[in-house]
Amino acid sequence: MIAGSAIYSKQTIIVSSDERLKENVARIDPDDCTEFISKLDVKTFNYIGDDKPCIGVIAQDLQGSKFEKIFATEQSGEEGYLGVKAADLVFPLIAVVQNLSAEIDYLKHRV
């Protein structure tokens, strides 16, 4: 169901992820993800004309980053507003958690 600018679903939204649909597959450097995530400037805000508080990033803040082409997108229309593929931010977060987990394991066994 679409209500205003929100999309609601009673079911999980499944994004195509089959390897047969992909090319140029390469492992990402978890250190790059850690650097990217640590530099994200997460802010609170509200949309113009709506007093509901939100939390997120500003698309312009992603410009110039290593991952700009992955996360910052231009929405169609005359205004040329920028958008962020927020759901895709989960994957660098996974890489960061894996990286930190490996570092913790290393430090635990070092003592």
CA–CA distance, 58 with 39 (Å, rounded to integer): 13
pLDDT, tens digit (0-9, with 9 covering 90-100), for 51-104: 999 999 998 988 888 888 888 777 766 678 888 888 888 999 999 999 999 999
In whole angstroms, what is the distance from residue 57 CA to residue 77 CA?
21
Q: What is the pTM of this model?
A: 0.73
Nearest Cα residue to 70 out of 97, 45, 37: 37
The counts of H helices and E strands in the chain are 4, 6
Task: Determine contact, residues 62/68, Cβ cutoff 8 Å.
Answer: yes
Q: How far apart (Å, rounded) are the C-alpha atoms in residues 94 and 98?
A: 6
